[in-house]
Amino acid sequence: MLFGIAAYGLWGVFPLYLHLLDDIRPMEVVANRIAWSLIVVAAILFVTRRLGRIGAIMRDRRLLRLLAPAAVLIAVNWAVYIYAISVDRVIEGALGYFITPLVSVAFGMAVFGERLRRAQAVALVLGTLAVVVLTVYYGGFPWISVTLGLSFGTYGLLKKLADVPTAEALAVETLLLFLPAVALMAGLAWTGEGALFSDGAGTTLLLVGAGPVTAVPLLLFGASVTRVPLTTIGLMQYLTPVLQFLIGWLVLGEAMPATRWIGFALVWSALAVLTWDALRAVRREGAAGERVLAEEIVEPA
């Protein structure tokens, strides 16, 4: 339980870390996160004697066809989320992760041909209404929230199909993105626009620290998911967007007018219905039912 709370808690306070880098281009932050995450995860796999698995995954064409687009999607997700924080739209970013379970339910219907239970249909209707309300509030489509929800939901779908352990999957994903990331960092350094070694020691440490900041919660998540029932993990996952929402509202002072509260209330109602339905399925179906709640469980960005 403590491992899980620590993992989701660290993901939840991640906006505070990224807020320290909000004067740096989002793509440069993403490039550094990719590069340093690969180094950290590779070191972890080496110490745990699992580094050899990377070669086997890279030689498997089926896995590459799943993990390559997953790598692109997580890069897009990171870039959009970092952009949201840099322009003081943390709450809108949190909303994206609130709607991710609803996206997963929609994928279950569209990709796996699953029949929607009545409660799931109600949750999807509420989620759709929330998007409509927030579109009215923003005076335009809430593209940050929807992009985060769709990219992360699709990323989770591809990870589910690949069925590769978390650390190994992250190593492959960052390896596939490593050369473009390093090329971007080198290009910015060449033109004198890079921040890694030119904006002071504090900025350098923050950018390099993006590696362990990415890897440590993943290790805690892995330690928890193997020891705690999946129903518990499924409930704990909401800790991350709740903390992100509270940071945006109470710490960073983002506005929450009535229309926005209505949109979020609709999303929270949808999640309450979805969770109640999943817990009821667990009680009814036993161990097989746990998988219903576990479908949406992947590590947050």
Given a contact cutoff of 8 angstroms between Cβ atoms, the answer to whether 21 and 207 are in contact is yes
What is the spatial distance between Cα 29 and Cα 199, in angstroms, rounded to a whole number? 13
Tell me the pLDDT tens digit for each residue of 167-196.
Answer: 899 999 999 999 999 999 999 999 988 888
pTM: 0.89
Q: What is the pLDDT of residue 159?
A: 86
What is the spatial distance between Cα 15 and Cα 21, in angstroms, rounded to a whole number? 10
Confidence of residue 228 (pLDDT cuts 50, 70, 90): confident
Domain ranges of the chain: 2-294
Distance linking the first and last C-alpha atoms of the chain = 20
Tell me the pLDDT tens digit for each residue of 78-126.
Answer: 999 999 999 999 999 999 999 988 888 888 788 777 788 888 899 999 9
Tell me the pLDDT tens digit for each residue of 82-93.
Answer: 999 999 999 999
What is the spatial distance between Cα 126 and Cα 134, in angstroms, rounded to a whole number? 12
